[in-house]
Amino acid sequence: MALTKEKTLSLINNFGANEKDTGNSKVQIALLTERIKQLTEHCKTFKKDKGASRSLIKLVGQRRKLLKYLQRTNLETYRALIKELGLRK
């Protein structure tokens, strides 16, 4: 259920400056978004899995905080990231 190593590396390469740039806000938001997508599918299948539902809510809150930080510090990057990840339509 966790992200595979290959998927994680591809996200880091797409959104980070280099392969070791895991602390970048863009990379963290992209990783959280992918994990949220996986957990959403899991929660649709297993409706009574309350632990997964709680984890999903925590991850969404964490991503929201990072997006708020990115919006406050670098608006152009925020808008590009939202568009690229397809978060708001």
How much is the pLDDT for 1? 64
How much is the pLDDT for 58? 97
**What distance in Å separates the CA atoms of residue 5 and residue 78, rounded to the nearest whole number?**
26
Per-10-residue mean pLDDT for the chain, 89 residues long? Answer: 86 88 91 95 95 96 96 95 88
How much is the pLDDT for 89? 58
- CB neighbour list of residue 7: distance below 8 Å, 6 or more residues apart: 34
How much is the pLDDT for 18? 87
pTM: 0.91
- One-letter amino acid at 20 equals K
**What distance in Å separates the CA atoms of residue 20 and residue 36, rounded to the nearest whole number?**
22
| Distance from the Cα of residue 59 to its chain's centroid | 8
